[in-house]
Every structure is written in C-alpha cells, then in structure tokens.
Structure 1
Amino acid sequence: MVSAFYDRFPYPGDPLQDGPPPGYNWRWCVDSAWAAATGALTPRSDQGERPWRILDAGCGTGVSTDYLCHLNPGSSVLAVDISAGALEVARERTRRSGAAKAVRELRIEQRSLLDLAGEGPFDYINSVGVLHHLREPEAGLQSLAGLLRPGGLLHLFLYADGGRWEIHRTQRALARLAVGSGAEGLRLGRQLLAELPEGNRLRQHHERRWIVDTAADANFADMYLHPQETSYNLDRLLAFVASAGLEFAGFSNPEVWSPARLLSGELLERAQGLSQLEQWSLVEELDPDISHFEFFLSHGAVRAPDWSDDEVLLAARGEINRCLWGWPATRLMGPDLMPLDVSEEGLVLMAAVESAPAVAIGQLPLDWPAAQRLAVARQLLNQRVLLPVL
C-alpha cells in the first residue's frame, strides 16, 4: 500500500539538478550533527577523513542521500527505500549530482528498513519522515536500533499531533469523500482546499502554512492523501524512544523548544526553573504550530565534555564547521542558513585553527592570554562555527 503510493507520487518532489545539491543541511553533515549531539568530534583518520558508515533509511527520491554524500566525503552510504518509483528518481538525482564520486561507496537499494539483516553497524542513521508511515513504527525503530553501533547516532523526524490538527481534519474529510490516493484524490484534494469558503480555518491554515510546501503534487499527496500515518505528542514520543532501548540525545531544532522563544520576564524566569522535560512540555502546550519532532537518539548515553572547564577546552583541538556560507569572513550564513556575525577576534582564531588543525586551542600560535583564547573559543562554540575535537 505505502510502496504503491510512493510509486505514484515519488517523494519528496524536489527538482533534479546537475552538480552538488544547493546549500547544506547540517543535520546531514555527520561532523556537524555529531558535534551538536555529543558535544565533540573524534579525531580524523591518518588520511584526514572520518569514514562514517551512514544509513539513509527511507531515502525516497534521494534528496537526503545526495546531501549525505556531498557533505560527508570519504564515507560509505547505504540508501534504502521500498518504492521502486522513488528509487528511480534517487538514482538519477545522485547520478546527475556526482554523489558517488564524493564518497567511498554509495549503494541505493530497494529494501525495507525492517529487512536489513547483515548490514551495519552504522555510525549514523538518517530516517526523516519514515517511521510514522509504517504500520508498526515501534518495529521500525527497533530494527534501526539494532543496526546502530554502540555510541552511534540516529536522526529522526516524526509528526507531532499539535501542529497537524488541521491536516488531520482535512485527511479525514477527504477519506469520507472517498477521493482515493491517486490522481483523482490529488485533483479533488486541491479542489477542496481551493473551494472551501475563504474564512474556513482549514483553507486558511493550508494557504498560510503549507501552500508553498505542497506546490509539488508528490508533496501535496504525502500531506493529505497518505494511506498510513501516525503522529505523536511529547509523552508518547519519549515512550516510543524507550521502547527501542535508545537514549534521547536532544532535539535537532533546539531553538524551537526553548521557552525564551515564547516567554519573557517573570514568566520566563518561572519556566527556566522547571526541569528540561517540563520546559519542553510547556513549549508543546504554548505553541500549537509545532508540526513535527526532529531529534537525535544515541546507542548508549551521551557524555558530553564540560567546555566550561578551562583546561578541557584549552586541551581540545578545533575544526571549522563545513556548514557555513561565506567563510572566511565575519559576515556568514550559519549552520541554520541564518545571518551570523563573527567577531574579528573570532575570525583570527578560526584562521589559526584552519592553519594548524592538529594543534590544541591553548597552543595555537596567537599572542593572546588564556582568558582571551577561552572567551573567543566559547563564543565560536556557541555560534557553532567552531567544532571541538577531543
């Protein structure tokens, strides 16, 4: 059922292009994701690489696979999906972009993520928008957990109840109208959202939030016509994670889950006195537009270094985050493709790191006292332009 749906509507419907994909997504650059989730990178090999073993579980038309290859040179990538139609697009996409030339190995195979015995273990598994379309999402998560090496990371994207309220009502309405999940359903689904009264909340919500994202037919069908879908609230999400014996290693959009995004003054002070889980629950209650959860899971608890310890930070080495636009300069596009200003001192330290990657921060050839090195390095760590290496 799901395979046939994606054969009809290969997803995502991003256009093909010649050459590497545009820009970057730091969640698909394993170095950047690893530093975000664990607090530090491991050293490179003698060949100057981190030969990550990567699984793209549910690769669809290969958008994520393309980025995973180009953002992780020297790695080995296995991309799987159950839809032959989507994989045909994925193979053409990666052929035109030269993805296979960027990595040590690229395999694109028609396989279920429930049937990957003999593969792995993987350092990093990417599974975005997949598990919530399985008949038994728990079985899918357990399968992926078994493919992850100890200490490895899994990045997931799952639907959230709150921000999909209007979508769910539209889905149910179309199901009652028996429009189906093919070309007829696509035509009638678009007709419904165009012909509802202008003041109708479902029409307004679609036009305000989703009309651009669903311009491609495959994207519209995936949102409103999919035959199988599960969504979660925070409590059910954490229970889902626990069912596979994995550890929650943080959201990959942490700014969304900060009460400071929504509150100020006394209310923010009260919120910041809550536990981390209570803060997340508060944000979930206050923001009904959160339509998905994106987060990291780890095989074993993450023990992040304490970068507030001066000696630990001075003994670490650093690397420039490859997910930056405009480097070297003080005006950059940061990891989240937002404008970012680096101080002149920050630029000097980053240049020193780039010219001496094997040298600890405390030993870089800078005529600076330790206090200055520490202050500038911490600022760059907070901006995520400098990635620490243990």
Structure 2
Amino acid sequence: MVKPEGKGVAGRARRLASVTSHDVARAAGVSQATVSRVLRNDASVSQARRDRVMRALAETGYELNASARAFRTSHTGSIGVVVARLSNQIYPAMLESLGARLASLGQRMIVWDAEYGGDVQASQALRQGIVDGVILAASTNESEFIKEIRSPQAPVVLINRTVDGYPGDQVSSDNVGGGRRVADYLVRSGRKRIALIGGPQQASTIRDRERGFREALEAAGVELLAHHYQRSPEFSHGSGKAMALRLLELATPPDAIFCVNDVLALGALDGARVARARVPDDLWIVGYDDVELASWDAYELTTVRQPMAEMVSYSIDLLLAKILDSGKAIELKCFANELVIRQSTGKHPFPQ
C-alpha cells in the first residue's frame, strides 16, 4: 500500500522531491541527457526540444536543487538584476520582461534596488558566487558596482543606461537620436516657443536625450532660451508638475515642452491642467520611454518608445553567453527608437 503524500506545504515538497529529470525526459519525449543540457543552458539543444523540455518541467513541477546544480556545473542558475526607482514604471516593466524571459530559460532572478544599497549587495553576490551574472539597469559612473567590478571577464551586462569606458557588454537605445527626433517633430510642426524639462545628469539616458534635442534645435536655427530650460532634481510626477508650472507662469510661456522621461511628462500634463493651459490647443507635451500610463485615455502622451522586449532579450543572451565563455568579446548594442504620436500633440503626424 502506498502511503499518502499528504496535503499542504510538506506534502507538496515531498511530491516535488519525487520528480526526477528522468520523469521530465519521459514527459517531454526526449533523453535524460537532453534534459540535463537544457538545465545547464547548453546552446546545442534545438529551440523545439528546449521548448518541449521547458513545458515538461512546468507540468511535472520539477525543481532542481540549486546547490547540487552549482556543484555539478559551477553555475547556480541565478541572475542578479539591479534597478532604481521602482516608482518609475519603466523599471517594473523591464523587470517583468526580464523575469519572464529568465524563467523561460530555467533561470531565477534576484532583484536589488540601487537606491537602497543594491549595487554593493549585487557585487558581493557576484563575487561570492551567489549569482552567475548581473544585469545593471540603472548604472552611472558613481555606481559602487561599476567601481568594484571592472574585469572584462566578469559576467555583467548594462541595459538602458550606459557607462563610457566600462569594460562590459552594454545594451541601450538611441537616446541621442530620440531627442533629435522630438526636436525635429516640434520644429517641423510649427512650434515656436519650445521648452525642455531635463533631469539629473548622472544618467547617460538623460544626458543623451538632452544633447540630441539641443543639437537638433541648433541645427534648425531654433534657440532654446535659458528660461525655457528647467532641470528637475528628481524623476517624479510632482517634480514634473512643478517644473511645468514654472514654465507656464512665464510672461511668454512655451507652446511645447519636451520632458526627458514619461514620469516628468505625466506630471507636466497635470501641471498644465492646474495652470488651465489647454493641451494640445495651447501647449504640446512630449515624453520619453512610453510607459504604460502614457497610453491611458487620461494622458494620451506623445512619447519616444524604446524596444524594451528586444533590449531585454539581447541583454540576457549576452549575459548567458558571457557566463559560458568569459573570454567572449565585449559588445555595445544600440537599438533604434520610435516616436509614438498621441493626443498630447493633437495626433499631429510627423511632417514629411
């Protein structure tokens, strides 16, 4: 007679412990060796077989003991991710995409917040072998991780923000080009009094967006007046609102405002409502990043969209390749962006 496994957490633990890689192999219709290759992320396994094994792993509830895997392969199957300001929707969206892709590859994700010492914790985890590699989503030259981990052999990938001279893989989007695209759009659409709400200059994304925007205005012969530039001390809705109100209190307020990210732009839209400036009749507002809120009916924000899914996928591929081959050549990948036109600029098409 078979003894009942029981219910609850203990029973579930016993059931999971009884599932072996041979069970997974039978469920997937492949050999046990194929299952092992998938578990260690061996590139020799075809995508079709990998998908079958991943489905079987999920269906059987198989869980690989982390310490056993580390002993056999020298890998833990854990990837660290460092983000910042989770109140900014771009980071939760990025984490969701990272988590989904890593889970599909049988990898675990450990997340740290750079605002609360995450850089130091991540560098310690990498040195101690707690994680196989780290993805940095919010790095600057001042980041402790960047200062401490500088070997070109280290399994580290920077995504979104970049750091000049850092000896590691970096994946970004064309922030300079995005800033230029916004300026061209505003100038060609007949905006005359163009303003800019910038942000802290430590972030490469912000520096590059502002630079591209200014360069395009200058090339078009349009002056960005000193009082039409406001540098926000932080990336928050409240700060964007305050900066917009300052601009709209001017004797000659702007007829267009470019904000270097969507959080500031959403605040600027609410600032315009407080100031009773009609958007888009009196004022156009453009953001950057295309976070989910930007498309909501209450905002309908024109913005620059980064190809986040592609950036995440490429970053993970680079990191896993680096984990397998520390001597792999460093890659710097930059993706193109897209201007998404919505009601905050009257859905005015890009002039040809």
TM-score, length of structure 1 as denominator length: 0.29
Q: Based on CA coordinates, which of the two structures has the bigger radius of gyration?
A: 2
Report which structure shows greater RCO (CA 8 Å, sep ≥6): 1
TM-score, length of structure 2 as denominator length: 0.32
